[in-house]
Amino acid sequence: MPRQDPRDTDMNSQPNNRAEPRHIAIIMDGNGRWASRRHLPRAAGHKAGVQALRGIVEHALTHRIEVLTVYAFSSENWRRPEEEVRFLMDLFITSLKEQVQELHQHGVAVSFIGDHQAFSKKLQQAITEAESLTGNNQALNLVVAANYGGRWDITNACRKLAARVAAGKLEIQELDEVQVGRTLSLGHFPEPDLFIRTGGERRISNYLLWQMAYTELYFTEVLWPDFNHQDLDIAINWYRERQRRFGQTSEQLTVSTVPD
């Protein structure tokens, strides 16, 4: 039997051939270096990073981006010095509490992906409150990846799917890319069109491994606290120049065809 093209049935991985990105995924990197260049503690870089995110969210709203997914804390970031991890956890709580009302007023729906069981009760509560307050908003989906890892995400989806098979709710033969994609984090959103990593590193650092299979990858030297609306425009303009082929040839695309 020929292998089914998941794009035939899966809304989420349908190619986005529009010139504008619907979903932007960012690795907000470079806070520490931004601070050390100013002879400041790393914590100051993280605080400045929160302000940068605020500006980018505003700009995403004006661009009518549907989904903005930002990497705030990876599953590997627990390896950092205890003091830095503690500072980051406190910063998540204070930033959430400070900004959630304003985000709500702007119509931003805030949600979180990642394994939150390791977080304090206080942080888990702040997350739940932010998600339930803003859940029905329509202007922009801001997804914060916190204690997130792409490998964790895939493993977690495997566990859920295996449980459904064991319970007799899913046949092994029905298990396909569409099912896996829907079971992963972000399964109800279109896949990222544009990935941006600030801070000069050219790696994915265990971010959205499955979801970024066909994402356009943009890397910039700009450190996250310095990344502003002009930098976002540069990245979006770069994206507009890409020809997204999804396996096809350029010639096929010029005569048209991939469904929108």
Q: Single out the residue of 21, 26, 29, 198 in contact with Mg ion (rule: CB under 5 A).
A: 29
Partner touching 71 among ligand IPE, Mg ion, none, CB below 5 to 8 Å by kind: ligand IPE
Near ligand IPE by CB under 6 A: residue from 33, 63, 229, 245:
33
Measured distance CA(113)–CA(147) in Å, rounded: 8
Q: How far is the CB of 119 from Mg ion (least distance, A)?
A: 20
Find the binder of ligand IPE among 16, 71, 108, 119 (CB under 6 A): 71
Residue 92 sits in the site that holds ligand IPE (CB under 6 A): no
Nearer to Mg ion, 29 or 191 (CB): 29
**Rounded distance between C-alpha atoms, residue 214 and residue 53, angstroms:** 25
Would you call 29 a catalytic residue per the annotation?
yes
SS3 30: coil
Residue of 10, 12, 16, 29 marked active site:
29
Distance CA 70, CA 28 (A): 7
d(CA 115, CA 36): 30
Residue 162 structure tokens: 């295996």
- Return the ∠ at Cα 112 (arms to 236 and 132), rounded to 5°: 115
Q: Which of 21, 23, 25, 30 binds ligand IPE (CB under 6 A)?
A: 30
Cα Rg, the chain, nearest whole Å: 19
Span from 54-62, 71-79, 174-182, 228-236 in contact with ligand IPE (CB under 6 A): 71-79
Nearer to ligand IPE among residue 178 and residue 195 (C-beta): 195
Q: Site for ligand IPE (CB under 6 A): which residue of 28, 50, 52, 113?
A: 28
By CB atoms closer than 10 A (0-12, 13-18, 19+), residue 179 is middle
Q: Is 88 in the site for ligand IPE (CB under 6 A)?
A: yes
- Dist CA 215 CA 12 (whole Å): 13
Comparing C-alpha atoms, which of 93, 259, 90, 113 is closest to residue 186?
Answer: 113
Site residues for Mg ion per CB under 5 A: 29
Site residues for ligand IPE per CB under 6 A: 27-33, 71-74, 76-77, 88, 199, 201, 203, 205
